[in-house]
Structure 1
Amino acid sequence: MTDRPQRGFLATRLRNYFLTGLIICAPLAITAWLVRSFIQWADGWVKPYLPTFYNPDNYLPFAVPGFGLLVAIIVITLVGFLTANLVGRSIVAFGESLLNRTPLVRTIYKALKQIFQTVLQEQSTSFKKAGLIEYPSPGLWSIVFIASDAKGNIASKFDERGLDMVAVFLPPTPVPTAGFLLFVERHKIVLLDMSAEDAAKLLISGGLVYPEPPPQRLPKRKEAPAEPVSQP
C-alpha cells in the first residue's frame, strides 16, 4: 500500500519538474528561433547584393550570420545621415520625383511612407495607447490600440453628424498583426493603464499573461509643524 503513494508522489514531482523546465526552455527556444529566422531573412536579402570582396562568406570556410543585418543597419543609418544635409535631401527629392511619375509604384510608396512617418515620429502617439471598447456586441469588451483621431474627408463627415470619432485597431488573438480598423466615439473608449507592449502580451497569450500592477505609492506623511521656541 505504501508503494503506490510513493510512486504517485514521484510521478507528480517529475511532472512538476518537467513543466518547470518547459516554462524556462520553451520561451528561450522560441526566442532563439525567431531571432535566427530574422537574421537569416535579413542576410538572404542583403548578402546577394554585396560585392564579392566585401562578402566574408566567399573567402571564409563558414558563413557569418548577421553580417547582412549589420550592413543593412549601417546603410540605413548612413542614408539617414546623408538625408539630414542639403545634398542628401536633393537626391531623395529627385528619387521621389521619379517614383511619383511611375503608376502603381507611387501609390504603394506614398502609402508606406505615410505609415512609417506616422508610426516612427517621436511626437507620434499612434499605437502607443491601449483601450477597451464594446465589441462585437454590448456587454462584450475587446482590447484595441489607439491609432489617431479621424482626419480628412472621414473627419468632415463625422463632424456633420456631430461625432467625435477616433480610429482604433482591433487585433485578433493570438496573432495581433492582422485586424480591423474601426472608428469609435471618443467617450466610448476606456483607456487602459498599461503600455501597448503589455496589451500585446495579453492578446498573444490569450488572456494568460497580465501586466503587473503599478506599485502603489504610500501617501506622504505630513510633518508636524515646528513648535515655537520660547524666548527667555
Structure 2
Amino acid sequence: MKRGQDETATRLHPFRTAVLRGLGVALPPLLTIGIFIWAGRFVYENLAAPVISLTTDYIGVKPVYAIPCILSLFLLVLYLLGKFVAVRLGWIFWTLFERGIDRVPLVRNVYGAVKQVSDFVLSEREIEYSRVVAVEWPRRGIWSLALVTSESMVDIEAAANEPVLAVLIPTSPMPMTGFTLTIKKSEAIDLNITFDEAIQFVVSCGVVIPPKQLRRMTTGEPGLAASTRAAAAPEDALDISADAAREAPPEDETL
C-alpha cells in the first residue's frame, strides 16, 4: 500500500512542479492587473463619475467627450499652477497658504504627512544607494542586509568617535518600507552583490540568493561550506578506500 502511494506521488511530482512553476509565472501579472483595475474603479466611482455627471447634466457635454475634456482641463490647471508657483509671486502665495494650514491643529498633521509622501514620490532627485552591506541587527548574531544611503551626521560621528554610515534595512517581502539606522562603519561588512540582487533576496525572503554567493558555496572558495568539505574529505577518502577493498577480487595464491 505504501509502495503504491509512493509511486503515485512520484508520478504527480512533475505535474505539481509544472503547476507551481506556471502559477509563479502567471501570478505577478494577474495581481498587477487586478491592482490597477481596482485602483481605476476606485478613481472612477469616487472622482470621475461625479464630475462626468456634473458636466453632462449642467454643462451639456456629451458623455463620450466628458472624460477627454476633464483630463485636458485638469492637465491645463496643473500646468498653469506649476508655472504660477515657479515665479516669485506665486511662491509667496503658496508659502502663505502652507503657513495658514500649519496653524490648523488637525489639518496640519494630515497635510504634512501627505506632503512628505508626495514630495518623496514626485521628487526628481532619486535616492542613491552607494553599496550593499550586512549589519548585525536587531541584535548581535543576526545579520541583515542594508543599503548605504550616506555618511550620516557629523554630530553622531563625533559621538561615536569614528566614521558612521546611514543605512536603510528593507523589510520582506515589501522592500518599499524599512528601518533607517546610523551604524559604525567598522560594524558593516561590504557584500559583493548589486542593488537589484539585494532587493531580490529581500523580496523572496532569502530564497533567491545572488549567483556570486552561490558560486562561492559550490566551488569551494573560502567560507563555511568549503571548510566543511575540507574537513569531511579524509572521511570520504577512507570510505572510498574501504569500498574499493571490498569490491576487489581475491588474489590467486596458486603459483
Interval of TM-score (by shorter of Structure 1 and Structure 2): 0.5 to 0.7
The change in CA–CA distance for 1:107 and 1:13 in structure 2 (over 3 A counts) is closer
Secondary structure of the corresponding residue to residue 94 of structure 2 = helix
Secondary structure of the corresponding residue to residue 173 of structure 1 = coil
Secondary structure of the corresponding residue to residue 14 of structure 1 = helix
1:38-75 C-alpha deviation (Å, 9 max, x unpaired): 334444554377363458xx9759xx8xx9xx78x947
The change in CA–CA distance for 1:150 and 1:41 in structure 2 (over 3 A counts) is farther
Which structure has greater helix proportion? 2
- The CA RMSD measured in Å over matched residues stands at 4.3
Letter of the 1:194 counterpart: T
Q: Cα offset for 1:184?
A: 0.6
CA–CA distance in structure 2, aligned partners of residues 160 and 36 of structure 1: 51
**What TM-score, normalized by structure 2, do the two folds share?**
0.56
Letter of the 2:202 counterpart: L
Which residue in the other structure is 1:183 paired with? 182
Letter of the 2:201 counterpart: L
Q: Is the Cα contact below 8 Å between 2:132 and 2:190 reproduced in 1?
A: yes
CA–CA distance in structure 1, aligned partners of residues 141 and 77 of structure 2: 47
CA–CA distance in structure 1, aligned partners of residues 93 and 39 of structure 2: 31
Q: Is the Cα contact below 8 Å between 1:119 and 1:127 reproduced in 2?
A: no
Q: RCO (CA 8 Å, sep 6+): is it higher in 1 or 2?
A: 1
Structure 1 residue 194 corresponds to structure 2 residue 194? yes
Percent of paired sites with the same residue: 22
Q: Cα offset for 1:203?
A: 1.1
**Match runs of 1:73-84 below 5 Å:** 74=75, 78=79, 79-84=81-86
Secondary structure of the corresponding residue to residue 93 of structure 1 = helix
Secondary structure of the corresponding residue to residue 194 of structure 2 = strand
Letter of the 1:165 counterpart: V
1:116-152 C-alpha deviation (Å, 9 max, x unpaired): 656765455356754321223444320123344434x
CA–CA distance in structure 1, aligned partners of residues 77 and 176 of structure 2: 24
CA–CA distance in structure 1, aligned partners of residues 194 and 151 of structure 2: 20
Which residue in the other structure is 1:39 paired with? 40
CA–CA distance in structure 1, aligned partners of residues 52 and 78 of structure 2: 20
Q: Is the Cα contact below 8 Å between 1:176 and 1:204 reproduced in 2?
A: yes
Which residue in the other structure is 1:156 paired with? 155
Which residue in the other structure is 1:29 paired with? 30
Which residue in the other structure is 2:20 paired with? 19
CA–CA distance in structure 1, aligned partners of residues 121 and 164 of structure 2: 20
The change in CA–CA distance for 1:202 and 1:45 in structure 2 (over 3 A counts) is farther
Instruction: Report runs of 4+ in structure 1 exceeding 6 Å deviation.
Output: 4-9
Letter of the 1:31 counterpart: T
Q: Cα offset for 1:8?
A: 7.2
Secondary structure of the corresponding residue to residue 52 of structure 1 = helix
CA–CA distance in structure 1, aligned partners of residues 129 and 121 of structure 2: 8
**What TM-score, normalized by structure 1, do the two folds share?**
0.60
Q: More displaced, 200-209 or 128-137?
A: 128-137
Q: Is the Cα contact below 8 Å between 1:118 and 1:126 reproduced in 2?
A: no
CA–CA distance in structure 2, aligned partners of residues 48 and 8 of structure 1: 54
Gaps of 5+ in 1: 214-232
**Match runs of 1:27-106 below 5 Å:** 27-43=28-44, 46-47=47-48, 50=51, 52-54=53-55, 74=75, 78=79, 79-103=81-105, 105-106=107-108
Secondary structure of the corresponding residue to residue 181 of structure 1 = strand
User: How many pairs does the alignment contain?
Assistant: 198
Q: Cα offset for 1:24?
A: 2.0
